[in-house]
């Protein structure tokens, strides 16, 4: 796609640096104060490098080097790079929930881009919420932007095993440890063996799912999402991204020029073929709304019925992200599912998706399967509805025990996470393998912030008896590295009056995956009586961003964005005269 180049006077940064008189002169000499010369910055696009690096984001420990490589590419292409630190949302350390701070990161990045003399942006993210947070910001500001994914860490090793997946293997080891089948030293060694290098989780968890979604949407260099964090190709991708963003500025190629509803439908199809994280539903819906694109759970439901799981990666399969890269990466998968995609969609390269995948090849048919030999015959994610979830819930079908996909059982109810921790391993807990574990008060306003509590632990006495999966239902999320028959994102959530909050011990709950239903089998008159007796609990926060969050957060089916941000709108673009 050939685009007309804009003039120097049309750059945003020229409203600052090119302003007449004192305003422009002031910016010039204060820039020289930092050691730059006029030749360094005058007449060049200013490229903001938004970094989510911090010492408490272990997935992004390589970002200081990547920043320098991006800067090198920007300089080479004739741009002026400026590093702008943003909120770092590290999944491992942030409490109570990174989803709250995804929205704060999106606000932070949006205002940084809007309020500074920046013509284009390179967005460095990867750990779960940083990808959607940065892309939501770029969509709202709508200046040229390219995403640089962190890349996954190396595959895990332990006692000769070479397919240890971050999260997936540690969840299994934890279950074995709690069941007394693994000693504490070995349990800890498994965890350490899965975290061997910089980079995000090496499974198809939320991090790799969302960077793959950015790739499928056309917002990264083609195939960038599959490159391992420590591979030399990753450094080359970073510097190439720096060069490309300068050209994108001159071409005036913006997110709204690239991403359409068809782009999002491509991402949804790719999500199904990957058996991506359940979190992707929330993030993709939130990103789409920022661009004024309509995307609903029904779009995921339709794709789930037509697109099989072809990517044989943990937690739904066998392999890891490193293996996907050597098998041809995301581009090879896209080539394989091309009949399901709109190949005319544009990308940051200035070329179409079809042109980007034209030369892609699959080098390992067990890692990237054919449609004749899928990992799973239908999409990995299933959207459920019913009286328990009138606005939807989600199940990762490909990571569940097939025998539990059609199940009716008595509820064992935990009022909140603390109640669950206190009682789940009680030997006297009235629970069997046929029970349905129900966790309440864990949604967007409930927990608060919809933490990843949805993979409720199997009660210890059942673990000891060999039980490794059972039906679990909550309004929480779960880690994309998790597995099991876990129904998540029940909407509306219990804290705002959803029926989930009215479930009581012994109530029969029916999961009908084939019929896409989730129902509480209780008489309607009894349900109505419980509704009348229900009293909303007090808010968790009395001030600060937490209060802003619970007063304005949308429900899971709407992307859990803040209501005043989840829309398009004209925001004044600062000009030099305001300085």
At residue 564, does pLDDT exceed 90?
yes
Q: How confident is the model at residue 575 (pLDDT cuts 50, 70, 90)?
A: low
How is residue 59 written in tokens?
Answer: 């997935």
143 close to 245: Cβ distance less than 8 angstroms: no
Architecture of domain 8-154+197-357: 3-Layer(aba) Sandwich (3.40)
Predicted pLDDT at 157: 82
At residue 60, does pLDDT exceed 50?
yes
Digit-coded pLDDT (tens) for 15-45: 888 888 877 788 888 999 999 998 988 899 9
Predicted pLDDT at 195: 87
User: pTM here?
Assistant: 0.95
Angle at 394 between CA 224 and CA 527, to 5 degrees: 160
Digit-coded pLDDT (tens) for 258-316: 999 999 999 999 999 999 999 999 999 999 999 999 999 999 999 999 999 999 999 98
Q: How confident is the model at residue 448 (pLDDT cuts 50, 70, 90)?
A: confident
Q: Helix 544-552 and helix 98-115: axis angle, to 10°?
A: 100
How is residue 495 written in tokens?
Answer: 């804290």
Mean pLDDT computed over 533-544: 91
Beta-carbon neighbour count of residue 305 at 10 Å? Answer: 11
Q: What is the three-state SS of 418-454?
A: HHHHHHCCCCCCCCCCCCEEEECCCCCCCCCCCCCCC
Burial of residue 414 (CB within 10 Å: 0-12, 13-18, 19+) is buried
DSSP E strands, 357-502: 381-384, 393-396, 406-414, 436-439, 472-474, 486-488
* Residues recorded for the chain: 579
How many percent of the chain have pLDDT more than 70? 98
Round to whole Å and give the CA distance between 576 and 162. 57
Predicted pLDDT at 192: 87
Predicted pLDDT at 88: 96
Domain with CATH 3.40.50.2300 in the chain: 8-154+197-357
Domain 381-533 grouped into CATH 3.50.30.80: yes
For 80, the enclosing helix (H) or strand (E) is strand 80-85
Q: Which of 276, 242, 80 is nearest to 147 (CA)?
A: 242
At residue 333, does pLDDT exceed 90?
yes
Q: Which of 337, 281, 343, 285 is nearest to 309 (CA)?
A: 337
Q: How confident is the model at residue 576 (pLDDT cuts 50, 70, 90)?
A: very low
Domain with CATH 3.50.30.80 in the chain: 381-533
Digit-coded pLDDT (tens) for 165-185: 888 888 788 888 888 888 999
Predicted pLDDT at 579: 47
Round to whole Å and give the CA distance between 393 and 202. 26
Give 89's contacts (C-beta < 8 A, 6+ positions apart).
52, 57, 98, 101, 102, 105, 127, 128, 129, 130, 133
At residue 577, does pLDDT exceed 70?
no
Angle at 486 between CA 469 and CA 468, to 5 degrees: 10
Residue recorded with tokens 């980007």 = 356
Digit-coded pLDDT (tens) for 218-247: 999 999 999 999 999 999 999 999 999 999
Round to whole Å and give the CA distance between 354 and 352. 5
57 close to 127: Cβ distance less than 8 angstroms: yes
Task: Find residue 158's DSSP bridge partners.
Answer: 161
At residue 76, does pLDDT exceed 80?
yes
At residue 514, does pLDDT exceed 50?
yes
Round to whole Å and give the CA distance between 455 and 315. 13
At residue 162, does pLDDT exceed 70?
yes
DSSP class of residue 456 equals: P
Which range (110-119, 287-296, 490-499, 532-541) has the least confidence? 532-541
How is residue 561 written in tokens?
Answer: 């964005």
Round to whole Å and give the CA distance between 439 and 499. 12
Round to whole Å and give the CA distance between 218 and 248. 13
At residue 345, does pLDDT exceed 80?
yes
Q: Helix 184-193 and helix 168-178: axis angle, to 10°?
A: 180
Angle at 16 between CA 15 and CA 21, to 5 degrees: 95
Round to whole Å and give the CA distance between 435 and 508. 9
Mean pLDDT computed over 414-436: 97
Burial of residue 312 (CB within 10 Å: 0-12, 13-18, 19+) is buried
At residue 99, does pLDDT exceed 80?
yes
């Amino acid at each position: 796609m050939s685009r007309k180049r804009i003039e120097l006077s049309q750059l945003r940064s020229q409203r600052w640096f090119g302003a007449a008189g004192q305003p422009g002169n002031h910016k010039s000499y204060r820039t020289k104060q930092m050691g730059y010369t006029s030749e360094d910055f005058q007449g060049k696009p200013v490229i903001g490098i938004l970094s989510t690096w911090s010492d408490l984001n272990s997935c992004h420990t390589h970002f200081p080097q990547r920043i320098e490589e991006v800067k090198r590419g920007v300089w080479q292409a004739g741009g002026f790079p400026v590093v702008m630190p943003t909120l770092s949302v590290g999944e491992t350390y942030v409490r109570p929930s990174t989803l709250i701070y995804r929205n704060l990161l999106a606000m932070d990045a949006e205002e940084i881009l809007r309020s500074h003399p920046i013509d284009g942006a390179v967005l460095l993210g990867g750990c779960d919420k940083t990808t959607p947070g940065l892309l939501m910001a770029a969509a709202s500001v709508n200046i040229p932007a390219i995403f640089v994914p962190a890349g996954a860490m190396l595959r895990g090793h332990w006692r000769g095993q070479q397919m240890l997946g971050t999260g997936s293997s540690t969840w299994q080891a934890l279950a074995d440890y709690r069941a007394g089948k693994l000693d504490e030293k070995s349990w800890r060694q498994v965890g350490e063996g899965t975290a061997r290098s910089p980079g995000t989780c090496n499974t198809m968890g939320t991090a790799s799912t969302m960077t793959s979604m950015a790739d499928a949407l056309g917002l990264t260099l083609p195939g960038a999402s599959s490159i391992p964090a420590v591979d030399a190709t990753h450094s080359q991708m970073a510097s190439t991204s720096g060069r490309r963003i300068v050209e994108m500025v001159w071409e005036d190629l913006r997110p709204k020029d690239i991403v359409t509803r068809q782009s999002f439908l491509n991402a949804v199809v790719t999500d199904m073929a990957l058996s991506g994280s359940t979190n992707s539903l929330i993030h993709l819906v939130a990103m789409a709304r920022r661009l004024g694109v309509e995307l609903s759970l029904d779009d995921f439901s339709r794709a789930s019925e037509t697109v099989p799981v072809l990517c044989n990666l943990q937690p739904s399969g066998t392999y890891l992200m490193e293996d996907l890269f050597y098998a041809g990466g995301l581009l090879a998968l896209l080539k394989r599912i091309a009949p399901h995609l709109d190949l005319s969609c544009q990308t940051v390269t200035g070329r179409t998706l079809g042109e980007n995948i034209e030369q892609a090849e699959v080098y390992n048919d067990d890692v990237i399967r054919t449609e004749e030999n899928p990992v799973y015959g239908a999409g990995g994610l299933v959207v459920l509805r019913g009286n328990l979830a009138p606005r939807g819930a989600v199940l990762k079908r490909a990571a569940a025990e097939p025998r539990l996909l059609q199940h009716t059982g008595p509820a064992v109810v935990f009022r909140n996470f603390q109640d669950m921790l206190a009682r789940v391993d009680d030997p006297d807990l009235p629970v069997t393998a046929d029970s349905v574990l129900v966790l309440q008060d864990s949604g967007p306003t409930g927990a608060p912030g919809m933490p990843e509590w949805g993979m409720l632990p199997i009660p210890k006495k059942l673990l000891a008896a060999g039980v490794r999966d059972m039906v679990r239902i909550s309004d929480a999320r779960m880690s994309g590295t998790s597995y099991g028959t876990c129904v998540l994102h029940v909407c509306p959530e219990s804290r705002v009056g959803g029926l989930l909050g009215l479930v009581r011990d012994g109530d029969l709950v029916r999961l009908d995956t084939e019929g896409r239903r989730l129902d509480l089998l209780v008489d309607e008159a009894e349900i109505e009586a419980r509704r009348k007796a229900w009293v909303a609990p007090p808010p968790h926060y009395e001030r600060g961003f937490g209060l802003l969050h619970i007063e304005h957060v949308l429900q899971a089916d709407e992307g859990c964005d803040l209501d005043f941000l989840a829309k398009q709108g004209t925001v004044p673009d600062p000009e030099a005269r305001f300085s």
